[in-house]
Structure 1
């Protein structure tokens, strides 16, 4: 019976996502990914070329999913930040993989097209909203976008010693803090 290539690739991507989230690029092992995916290392190299190629595929798929699931709302940036927060809560691996990407790929000079295109469109949407007076101009569009993105990930980017101080803060409260903080930026 022939194997389903798409199903194999999907299993490899899911296993790799979890492996990269836990161990980063350097610490991840293709043999563990293959075992969890019920595949073999040869399939990883066949479909993705290398461990780096597999990471690239995971990162791009994760970014595409986020961009598609959470479109920007320049006329309601606080709620956009809240929806980004929701996305991070539902997919905790996103911030971990993004952190590994920053740590292990920052000096590579490689830019991910989907992220670059998405951020360019978001900056343009913010600039347009600022031009028509729907958003304040205190921050340039790219800075405002960066602040919104970072505030939306505030709760998932903390060190354990800070988390210990706010232990017990429920998800609804954390989301509201994000929304309120972005709203404060816009006053």
Structure 2
């Protein structure tokens, strides 16, 4: 069954996505309740199904929107991977729900419903890294996808740390956390 997706400017759809962001980031797909999302968006369950087809459709649309916004806000810069990682780190600090949504997607949906738009963006980013490696801009010590993955994970280090680990690094101030990301990626690419 094809999903109906109205224009992004639709106010009801936007309210549903915003309410869903809070709900899904807090409790994931399995724990989320359509009733709470509908109430928080001043809407109703029927609107969720009208716009997204299902709770899973709403979750997938939200994750795709979040990843797309992140890619758009922080475009890959293969000429400056340490700076790119720092800007990505900054984006996750400003938008803490983004990492939580991506984690919930990885845990609950990625194996059964990979999002083609995310796959396409990642594939394009890996191709950019490969071009930079062939041009000698980036080292070839790692395959392109592995190098990009390492950079992404270093950038996400602070936002993905468990509370138990956070307690061990609580004294590291925000500016230093950002610099750690830059330093680690600089060491990784040998700049």
Normalised by the length of structure 2, the TM-score is 0.92
Kindly state the Cα deviation for residue 107 of structure 1 after the two structures are TM-superposed.
2.6
* Aligned partner of 2:84 among 80, 83, 98: 80
Deviations 1:71-111, CA, capped at 9 Å, x for gaps: 10001000000011011001000110111001111331x22
Structure 2 counterpart SS, 1:74 = coil
Extract structure 1 runs of 4+ deviating beyond 4 A.
none
Is residue 19 from structure 1 mapped to residue 23 from structure 2 by the alignment?
yes
CA distance in 1, matches of 2:111, 2:12: 32
Does residue 69 of structure 2 align to residue 65 of structure 1?
yes
Establish whether residue 131 from structure 1 lines up as the match of residue 134 from structure 2.
yes
Where do residues 94-109 of structure 1 align in structure 2 (5 Å cutoff)? 94-108=98-112
Q: Is 2:4 the partner of 1:7?
A: no
Gapped runs of 5+ residues in structure 1? none
The SS at the match of 2:161 is: coil
Aligned length: 182
After superposition, the C-alpha distances for 1:143-169 in whole angstroms (9 at most, x for unaligned) are 000000011100011111110011132
Give the drift of 1:182.
0.5
User: Map of 1:123-162 to 2, 5 A cutoff?
Assistant: 123-162=126-165
Deviation string for 1:96-135 (max 9, x for gaps)?
0111001111331x22122111111111111111111111
Distance in structure 1 (CA, Å) of the matches to 2:117 and 2:171: 36
Q: 2:122 aligns with which of 106, 119, 122?
A: 119
TM (normalized to structure 1)? 0.94
- Could you tell me which runs of 5 or more consecutive residues in structure 2 were left unpaired when the two chains were aligned: 1-8
